[in-house]
Amino acid sequence: MNSELNVLSLKNIHKAFGGIVAIQDFSLDLKAGEIVALVGDNGAGKSTLIKIISGVYTPTSGEIKLDGQEASFSDASAARSNGIEVVYQDLALADEQPVFMNMFLGRELTKPPFGLLDKARMRRESQELVDDLDVRIPSASSTISDLSGGQRQGIAIARATHWASKLVLLDEPTAALGVAETGKVEDLIASLKEKNLAILIISHSLDQVFKLSDRICVLRRGEQIGIRETAKADKNEIVSMITGVA
């Protein structure tokens, strides 16, 4: 694949809910191996944008391209089968199930001739996945409810990474975590760059945004205020872009 090709290309995206304009004229290109942070105050339109990219909402107008091809997803599962995975704040893990069943939730492996669950293979592949990403858990058979918040977030991200062939969308991935766990999850997110995935992350923590992202995209009340290269960006400028106060 041409690494310069945009994995995701959004052009003039507009989304209105009745009379409320949630997103207006939003454009963004994302490349493989790139982390872009989406920042903005409450109600800026960040979640709406993630839902548009992941097929939950259809934009009122605008163009979405995946690997240069026009894309329009009828629902979230259509986006998933096109290589787009989302990690939401609530994680969508089945708490009473083991890690390996969560890794394969809705995509369970079965074995012939009766189509029984291939638990051994799911367990083995899940273990390889968490080992590969250095997510430390007792075992792939551990029950989700026995894990810490950071471990659960690690599982949710590992699952998304496993199934995403193109793009991972992270909605406030560390909002519910303590300092040490946040650090671990941030390391995990940084390591996804090497997997050549494109990452779009929503975060309210500017420290995190500056630590992880290559570019920062600012939204205010549905309007795209600007995009900055993180290495050249100034925190005060980003804050005033977010708030509209110079």
Peptide bond into 113 cis (omega under 30): yes
Q: Is 239 in the site for ligand ATP (CB under 6 A)?
A: no
CA distance 46 to 49: 5
Cβ distance to ligand ATP smaller for residue 99 or 219? 219
> Least separation, in Å, of the C-beta of 47 and ligand ATP?
3
For residues 34 and 215, the answer to whether their CB atoms sit within 8 Å is yes
Q: Find the radius of gyration of the CA atoms of the chain.
A: 18
Identify which of 199, 195, 164, 196 has the alpha carbon closest to the alpha carbon of residue 8: 199
Cβ distance to ligand ATP smaller for residue 48 or 151? 48
Q: Is 174 in the site for ligand ATP (CB under 6 A)?
A: no
Task: Quote the tokens at residue 215.
Answer: 């570019």
> Least separation, in Å, of the C-beta of 84 and ligand ATP?
18
Q: How many CA atoms lie within 13 A of 148 on its CB side?
A: 14
Cβ atoms < 10 Å from Cβ of 243: 12
**Environment class of residue 3 by beta-carbon count within 10 Å: exposed (0-12), middle (13-18) or buried (19+)?**
exposed
Q: 37, 44, 86, 225: which one contacts ligand ATP (CB under 6 A)?
A: 44
Binders of ligand ATP among residues 12 to 41 (CB under 6 A) are: 17, 20, 22, 40
Cβ distance to ligand ATP smaller for residue 25 or 108? 25
Binders of ligand ATP among residues 46 to 65 (CB under 6 A) are: 46-48
Q: 35, 45, 123, 189: which one contacts ligand ATP (CB under 6 A)?
A: 45
Q: Is 83 in the site for ligand ATP (CB under 6 A)?
A: no
Q: At what angle do helices 119-132 and 149-163 cross, to 10 degrees?
A: 100
Q: Is 175 in the site for ligand ATP (CB under 6 A)?
A: no
Q: Is 42 in the site for ligand ATP (CB under 6 A)?
A: yes
Q: Is 173 in the site for ligand ATP (CB under 6 A)?
A: no
Footprint of ligand ATP (CB under 6 A):
17, 20, 22, 40, 42-48
